[in-house]
Amino acid sequence: MKLTFSGSTETVTGSQYLIESEGKKYLIDFGLYQGPDPISKLNRREFPWNPSQINALFLTHAHIDHSGMIPWLIKKGFKGLIHSTNETFELCKILLLDSGKIQNEEYKRALKNNPKAQLPLYTEEEASQALDRFIIHEFNKPFNIDHLKVTYTPAGHIPGASSVQIVSPQSSILFSGDLGRTDDILMNPPDAPPKSDYVVMETTYGDRQHDPTPPLEELEFYVKEVIKNQSKLIVPTFALARAQLLIQLFKVLFEKNPELKIPFVVHSPMTEKVTQLYKDFSSCLKISKKEVENWDEAARFIHWKNESESIDRKSGPAIIMGASGMVSGGKIIDHIKALGDDPKNIILLTGYQAEGTPGKEILEGKTHLKISGMKVRIQASVHQLKSLSAHADSHGLHQWIDSMGSKPKKVFLSHGEEDGRQGFLEVLSKDDYNVEVPKLDATYNLI
């Protein structure tokens, strides 16, 4: 078996790996590179293989940095099937279509200033064709593809997220996918990894431990602030996983402290669709279906412009949440435009803000921005939650690989920034693991 690192060797996006075995080729994930140039330019690079030569694709989870180039692959001639869990498929129905829509919108916007603007990687219609190729597998139920045995094991992180083990007659390899944390509020912890000769691990938080501040304490502080100032808490967040986690946290906060219960609206059609799906995902959640259904008591989804404007205008404290997490678009921009210039209001960022995104600029104190073609002025105080990541930290990653029971022949580290990869390389090297940090397009013989 031969392994090639086709993506995500130097970043936390663009997850792509190629396996070659007995003359056939398989991909594990085919994710979009996200971020400003030169990172996003990698989406248009030439591959040394033809998409029509790929026999099958094994998808670890639905996040766009793992799935977002699949429609492109099909457009370029991929004829095989896409193997995933049911939850991953259900989420891809929402995420891939949204990705196609966003790309088309960005293309149309760019066209106004540049008649030669680059065509989108794919449109919503092209993304929808990818959905016909999915084939669903259950966790921990091995299946055979050609001469390979493939098993999906739960990886925590988000619903459906899996580690994927591939066993050939010569050797076995395990792709961690994105690994969740053992203390996640909604997701069950990842399963122990099955014994494998080789392991490819993500290293998003390879050099760090999570902040121990309980997230409920952080939220309590900000809710008390907006009650005191009779102002608004504006929460741009990620529609998948982070939004549902926040709804659960606000619900618990309101139950424990009824005096803190203030109007809480969610203005994001995509968040609403994903939240609806969580009711069917309760088997991979730590909380019951009933509890997910009770989210409606804490949060109200709003849909119409008049509802949106009325919450902005209404006096008194309120929480307004919506996508996107890095403030690059979505309905939340309307609320930031309406409320962001009042110093009494709070903008609460809920996760990592990549370089070049409006979220990063707001965090760094920029007061005048143009987002999705709209001029926005920021006078509100800006904060960032410390403790909501859906990834295992350095300790969690180490614990996970240790729970394999015996050391693999080699552990490859990818899907991390320089500090994450190097930090975790040190951790595993000290523990006598044979570790390697591959370069882009590096190929290894797995024997």
Q: What residues make contact with Zn ion under the rule CB under 5 A? A: 63, 178
C-alpha closest to that of 431 among 408, 193, 5, 391 = 408
Nearer to Zn ion, 275 or 345 (CB): 275
Strands 54-58 and 24-30, by their bridges, are: parallel
What secondary structure does DSSP assign to 307-326, as a single string? HHHHHHHS-S-EEEEES-TT
Contact 133, 81 (CB under 8 A): yes
Nearer to Zn ion, 242 or 267 (CB): 242
Nearer to Zn ion, 31 or 51 (CB): 31
* 3-class secondary structure, 33: coil
What residue type is assigned to position 361 of the chain?
E
- Least distance in Å: CB of 335 to Zn ion? 26
- Least distance in Å: CB of 281 to Zn ion? 15
Nearer to Zn ion, 25 or 391 (CB): 391
- Least distance in Å: CB of 421 to Zn ion? 17
Helix (H) or strand (E) holding 2: strand 2-5
Contact 68, 127 (CB under 8 A): no
For tokens 């005191």, the residue is 228
Q: How far apart, in whole angstroms, are the C-alpha atoms of residue 118 and residue 236? A: 29
Q: How far apart, in whole angstroms, are the C-alpha atoms of residue 377 and residue 361? A: 12
Nearer to Zn ion, 12 or 401 (CB): 12
Stated length of the chain: 447
- Least distance in Å: CB of 155 to Zn ion? 9
Residues contacting 184, CB < 8 A, separation 6+:
156, 286, 390
- Least distance in Å: CB of 413 to Zn ion? 16
Nearer to Zn ion, 64 or 446 (CB): 64
Q: How far apart, in whole angstroms, are the C-alpha atoms of residue 114 and residue 170? A: 53
Nearer to Zn ion, 51 or 180 (CB): 180
Q: Give the strands of the sheet with 24-30, arranged side by side.
A: 134-137, 81-85, 54-58, 24-30, 16-21, 2-5, 443-445
Nearer to Zn ion, 91 or 199 (CB): 91
- Least distance in Å: CB of 199 to Zn ion? 18
- Least distance in Å: CB of 142 to Zn ion? 24
Cis bond before residue 387 (omega within 30° of 0): no
Q: Residue 313 has which token pair?
A: 């205008």
- Least distance in Å: CB of 22 to Zn ion? 31
Nearer to Zn ion, 10 or 29 (CB): 29
Q: How far apart, in whole angstroms, are the C-alpha atoms of residue 345 and residue 381? A: 7
Give CA torsion, residues 48, 52, 58, 61, to 10 deg: 80
Query: What is the distance, to the nearest Å, from the Cα of residue 148 to the centroid of all Cα atoms in its chain?
Result: 28
C-alpha closest to that of 202 among 173, 242, 175 = 175
- Least distance in Å: CB of 205 to Zn ion? 12
Nearer to Zn ion, 63 or 232 (CB): 63
- Least distance in Å: CB of 178 to Zn ion? 4
